A and B are shown apart, each in its own frame.
Chain A
């Protein structure tokens, strides 16, 4: 009885600032977009619109490939996406090979963290994008850790009730609890030349230059899903490298 009274008081106090603050997660209807990776969509039920989705991992962990796959999937659906490139590292050929219609991709080439945050803010405020990907990889981790959590919560607030997905790509998770979905990517192994002739990076040295770098096999770990009650899971994803036949 006291809990119900307290709940009613809180709801009255919050007023219009938060609609249904105590509604169960399962009762909310999330509009989700497919990520383009079927196993991931099964695991998390798609990427919820109006939220922050974070993909992080070490260099060569496949985080950029995952992000480009998501952007490519949205662009294929006819949406317009933006990429805020923290260190001007995006390769347009990779994007084209991933099936992106480049005319639907707004590429913002930044040089520092300040430009990244201001550009992302402008794009989110402007609205109309299916996804805004912010590539924080290769930016100094110390500077990233110095970003106040309020920045990410402000972005989350701007995103709410919009159909835009904010994708954060980095080496470590920075948005913390502001992110609705957090994915960690790891490189399980790379396939050189043929699936049968594999050699993981940690395996024995094999300097045979007759091999072709053919595929990477990724482990994608789901660390947080806020829009459903599914638990943490791990999926495998294979990525063909475009440079090889």
Chain B
């Protein structure tokens, strides 16, 4: 048995074709790319997985209905009859074996693959339906219309037989939507992206895949070069909602800057992440949700202000990088130490010295005599570039506060660097 999925809307058929092929691949490995908007798949032996032909047809239609356009499904004992049924009738049509001729007899011959000349000839003869064509003697028909008419005759009787031509698997996943009217705001783009993501991820799911990297290309009216938003994920994702939200957060941070007339979403597939959760494994954020939370946080506090701190491998104080927060964790030995709270940037201070030891300090929000001072601890570095520093550091007690201050020897100025807390 064979099933045919057909999109009657010619305009939608062009964009729906890759999705149709992927949906069909989710049911059967033998899928034929018959024509634009028409896909045939071999469903022999699938009844144990998907039930009867009617149930399978229903599931095919449900799966393909996510495209948002009308879908016809035809099921028959040969590919061509299935195609004719799908093209002719809406919904799910099942032609039982040996009933094809009777079921197809009332169909108009426009559903046959006729060239204009043959169609005109048949019209002159008064042949309007499959049944009328099927009643003609095959031998005489071939004498008048040539060898191809034999095939047409068999098609009209629903007994045409040919092997399926399965297509080769491709790993190109792309969804495109051309817009009649260019959009200038981000809100309508959310709906378009939602739709494209839904279809793209359904296609990926049909093939048992997930997306590791995505590229959103927005064709702009002016300038004409596309606006590209890349999205690299730490783990393969399968949730279209998360991806839509991540793209929208990126676009909110950096809008396209012009009216958008075409949206193209491309995914680089990967095998989905398979994890075995353990009962005693410590909890950690769910990677997809974490990525979304990080993007939202970056929208609030800025991209460089969210992540994992990594102290730089230099002796200078307060040198670090904020790296992307991921799920690649390590292990280090535990120690117990106090904490220094940093004034970022360091606060300029006025310091009085007695016998080369700080005795009084005043800076933003704090001033008073220095009860205890420990120092100076001299440090310098990076004399080879413009970040050169030469410091004399002191730990001091002012009232109830324990502070770290330093004197910038190059500028002869004092700064409060932080407070022990």
Contacts and interface: CB of A to CB of B under 8 A. Distances in A.
B83 to A, nearest CB: 49
Contact of A90 (B307, B333, B341): B341
Given A88-B344, A211-B372, A243-B404, A107 B338 contact: no
Given A128-B290, A240-B337, A108 B297 contact: yes
A60 B402 contact: yes
A157 interface: no
A32 interface: no
Contacts of B231: none
Interface in A39-67: 58-65, 67
Interface string B275-287: 0000001111110
Contacts of B274: none
Contact of A94 (B281, B339, B394, B395): B339
A77 B331 CA distance: 10
B283 A128 contact: yes
A105 B307 CA distance: 8
A239 B336 contact: yes
Interface stretch (A18-26, A117-125, A148-156, A227-235): A117-125
B421 A129 contact: no
List the 8 shortest-distance A-B pairs measured between CB atoms, nearest first: A128-B285, A92-B309, A242-B337, A109-B305, A64-B421, A78-B282, A126-B293, A213-B395
B402 A206 contact: no
Interface of A: 36, 58-65, 67-69, 72-73, 76-80, 88-111, 115, 118-119, 122-123, 125-130, 137-138, 163, 187, 190, 192-193, 199, 201-203, 205-213, 215-216, 239-244
Contacts of B331: 101
Contact of B397 (A103, A201, A242): A201
Given A101-B331, A126-B293, A240-B338, A192 B301 contact: no
Contacts of A88: 305, 342, 344
7 contacts: A99-B336, A107-B309, A201-B397, A206-B371, A209-B375, A213-B402, A241-B338
B230 interface: no
Contact of B371 (A106, A130, A205): A205
Contact of B338 (A65, A80, A100): A65
A98 B336 contact: yes
A128 B373 contact: no
A88 B4 CA distance: 62
Given A60-B401, A105-B309, A68 B371 contact: no
A192 B318 contact: no
Interface of B: 281-286, 289-290, 292-294, 296-297, 300-302, 305-311, 317-318, 320, 322-323, 325-326, 328-344, 354, 357-359, 369-376, 394-395, 397-404, 418-421
A62 B284 contact: no
B372 A94 contact: no
A210 B399 CA distance: 20
A201 B400 contact: yes
Given A61-B421, A92-B310, A209-B374, A80 B284 contact: yes
Nearest to A114: B300
A241 B420 contact: yes
B335 A99 contact: yes
Contact of B309 (A102, A192, A212): A102
Contacts of A207: 354, 357-359, 370-373
Nearest to A85: B305
A52 B29 CA distance: 55
A94 B400 contact: no
B332 A240 contact: no
Contacts of A216: 338, 402, 420
Nearest to B402: A60
Interface centre among B308, B326, B420 (most CB of A within 10 A): B420
A101 B306 contact: no
Contacts of A210: 374
**Which of A111, A187, A209 has its CB near the most chain B CB atoms (within 10 A)?**
A209
Contacts of A110: 300-301, 305
Given A101-B331, A109-B322, A62 B421 contact: yes
Given A119-B297, A129-B285, A207-B373, 9 more contacts: A59-B421, A61-B400, A92-B310, A102-B309, A106-B308, A203-B371, A207-B357, A207-B372, A210-B374
Contact of B284 (A79, A100, A190, A205): A79
Nearest to B325: A106
Contact of B301 (A65, A103, A109): A109
Nearest to A106: B325
A68 B341 CA distance: 11
